[in-house]
Amino acid sequence: MKDGEALFPANGKLYKYDVTNTSAAEPVDLENVAITDGWEEPRLLIAVNDQFPGPAIEVYQGQTVVVHVTNSLPSDSMTIHWHGLPQVGTPWMDGVSFLTQCPFLPGQTFTYRFKASHKGTYWYHSHIGMMRSMGNYGPLIIREKKPLRMKEFIMLLTEWNHDWDSNLAQLKEEDGMFINRTEIKETHSLDGAKFSLFNFHSVLVNGKGRYFSETGDNGAPLENFSVDKRNDYVFRIIAAGVQVPFRFSIDNHDITVIASDGYDLDPYTAESLIIHPGERYDVQISASADISNYWIRIVSVEADVERFGLAILKYKGATGVEPTTSKRLCTAQNKCRVVNCPFLHYPQSQNIECVTFDQLKNKVEDKAPNGPLEEDQEFFLNFAFPGLAWIPGSVNGRTFRKPVVSALTQPQEIEIECKDDCGEEKVCQCPYSIDLHHGKTYQMVFLNMGIGKGFSHPIHMHGHSFYVLKMGYGSYNATTGKIIGDNLDIDCRGHLDREKSFCNDATWTNPSWLGGNVPGLELKNPPRKDTIIVPTGGYVVVRIKADNPGVWFMHCHIELHTMDGMAVMLNESFDMHPPPPEGFPTCGNFDYSRPAPMRMPSSSTPKPHDEEKNEGPGYSKYDRYGGELGNFFKN
């Protein structure tokens, strides 16, 4: 739709609904049109400043960023998370509903204020319910204060269902995915693990895509990236999607991976890159091919179906026609190298060499925090769906249940806790949290094992960028690339058959590895990230130093898995949590169990911020903060 008129796609352009001869008609200007995949039946999405995706926020390192967010939705609450930023000193600006703030309601404005602490590629997105995949996201780029060495492009990738919003998709997933009495089955990752049952029709690049069917494509407009021959360019790639990893490549061009999640890497040249939800990668290309147009390919890493998106790398001087190029032919003599594989092997027949993330190195020496680790400084965390029937996602058998208050700023009002009914072969629901003591080094072993293991989980940690010390993968059939067993470095304990264990109380198979003595750890120059894939049947060893007081969410960044409870809170340096700004909103349940107090005459009403006078049966802490429904501005 544009200016109240319906549109339709053809030949890479958009036309008004009543045009009958596109060759003689003027196409519609694409500005201010949410194109998605060109499907002609409109679908609800969330725009930011009338844009989809939202506008890029570009700032310099060290600047203070102030963002006023007004919730103009008619019936949904809102928070915004600044993905990848550690929020040092401002944990209440992290934007996680009911963990670091109360969501703000339709018509309200919340002002976020934080430091742009570290250069790199980041992004912002809503962090409440299933809203992220409805379009409420955009890029956040933090630059060094020096001239750019080369031109940069921003590329946001996501799946798109042009019929349903994500809330309906989740309900359909739980109760059965049927379309016109035809059941939609789960797809599988290339290593054989099942993806969640989330149906999508197309892949979008910066909000543009094309719907492909058995009869062809609908000719919707695609994103174009214009380059000059003999120049170098950087693509800042952001995986804003719901669940599926994508393989990024450009026909006739190598890519060089130079950064991930805000940290520079030793340059690594490859044919393609796999990127998972929540991850960001910067890649460099050289425009050294013949002057022409080339397909940029975004292909889902699925075994059962072929689902992909396209964009165009357009050399200046090339004709306006769409590319006719083909993807690289991978041969036994000239294998294709793929960076960030979530498994060790592609099928042997595809002639692809996998490069796992832990094979990459930080560009500058940045030693991991070292020293002997006590028992309470090493955690084994299994991200899984344990059980034979449908059971929500969990971490160590704890399905995360959010509090009804802001855990960071109203900790004494959290009324539910993890009790003793959680166990080795059980699943419980509670606000699972781990206490981290200030100044200590912590080693975490992320697992994806046992009866509840699933396809590779992209685990995102708020408040920190962790050091990636080692990745352990499952056992595979070297010919087919299918997984055949869990990694034997881990003892899941519990059930005698390790494949049937819930793996809620894991440890190292070799006890001598405890205390940080794992062989093969990269401690001198490990890469750093805030979002890492945990391979099916495998593990990842990471370290952080507890030097950022706050409550930090750590969760699978697959939207459905987060909603299902695959998450945990890191309660870091509790006695050092900085107090929130004056007037910070509060929230909670309301129990109408006693009569309302009598109102005092206005002349004797206590002042709103006089805590000594605001006492007695008629006083509510909401009064001191200007009411639960008040806007929050701190300028």
Sign, CA torsion 152/158/161/166 = negative
Class of domain 154-359: mainly beta
For tokens 């028992």, name the residue. Answer: 375
Spatial separation of the C-alpha atoms in residues 635 and 232, rounded to whole Å = 41
* Spatial distance between the Cα atoms of 622 and 413, rounded to a whole number of angstroms: 13
- Per-residue pLDDT reduced to its tens digit, 29-72: 998 899 999 999 888 899 999 999 999 999 999 999 999 999 99
* Cα 460 versus chain centre, distance: 7
For the ranges 146-155, 379-388, 501-510, which has the lowest average pLDDT?
379-388
Q: Which residues pair with 373 in a beta bridge?
A: none
Distance CA 120, CA 123 (A): 10
261 contacts 120 by C-beta, under 8 angstroms: yes
Q: Per-residue pLDDT tens for 501-514?
A: 899 999 999 999 99
For 289-347, how does the pLDDT look when each residue is reduced to its tens digit (9 = 90+)?
A: 999 999 999 999 999 888 999 999 999 999 888 999 999 999 999 999 999 999 999 99
Q: What is the pLDDT of residues 607-627, one digit of tens each?
A: 443 433 333 333 333 333 333
Strands 531-534 and 394-395: unpaired
Return the half-sphere exposure (C-beta side, CA atoms, 13 A cut-off) of residue 180. Answer: 0
Query: 64-82: buried (b, 16+ CB within 10 Å) or exposed (e) per residue?
Result: ebeeebebeeeebbbbbbb
The one-letter code for the residue type at 510 is N
Q: Is the pLDDT of residue 183 over 90?
A: no
Phi then psi dihedrals of residue 24, to 5 deg = -105, -5
Question: In b/e form, how buried is each residue of 164-200, taking b as 16+ CB within 10 angstroms?
Answer: bbbeebbebbeeebeeeeeeeeebbbbbbbebbbbbb
Q: 């600006």: which residue's tokens? A: 93
Backbone angles phi, psi at 412, to 5 degrees: -75, -10
Section 552-563 average pLDDT: 93
Among 92-101, 221-230, 497-506, 517-526, the least confident range: 497-506
Please choose, from the candidates 554, 344, 539, the residue with its C-alpha nearest in 3D space to the C-alpha of residue 449. 539
Give me the CATH code for the 375-576 domain, please: 2.60.40.420
| 590 Cβ contact list (under 8 Å, min separation 6) | none
CA-to-CA distance for 191 and 345, rounded, in angstroms? Answer: 8
pLDDT of residue 595: 66
pLDDT for the residue 597: 62
CB atoms within 10 A of CB 625: 19
pLDDT reading at 372 higher than 80: no
CA distance 562 to 569: 12
Question: Whole-angstrom Cα distance, residue 7 to residue 35?
Answer: 10
Q: How many CA atoms lie within 13 A of 481 on its CB side?
A: 23
pTM reported for the whole predicted model:
0.91
ω before 535 within 30° of 0 (cis)?
A: no
Give 560's pLDDT tier (boundaries 50, 70, 90): confident
pLDDT at res. 173: 75
C-alpha 272/C-alpha 206 separation (Å) is 19
Residue 264: CB partners within 8 Å, gap ≥ 6?
258, 362, 363, 364
- Residue 605: CA count within 13 A, CB half-sphere: 11
Domain with CATH 2.60.40.420 in the chain: 154-359, 375-576
Q: Does pLDDT of 599 surpass 70?
A: no
Contact 458, 279 (CB under 8 A): yes
pLDDT (average), residues 337-364: 95
Tell me the average pLDDT across 574-600: 84
User: Strand (E) positions, 246-326?
Assistant: 246-250, 255-260, 263-270, 272-275, 280-286, 293-300, 308-315
User: What pLDDT score was predicted for residue 505?
Assistant: 92
For residue 170, give the H/E element and its range: helix 166-175
266 CA to centre of own chain? 24
Cβ neighbours around 5 below 10 Å, total? 10
Closest to 540 in 3D by CA, of 458, 424, 435: 458
Maximum average pLDDT range among 154-158, 384-388, 452-456, 559-563:
154-158
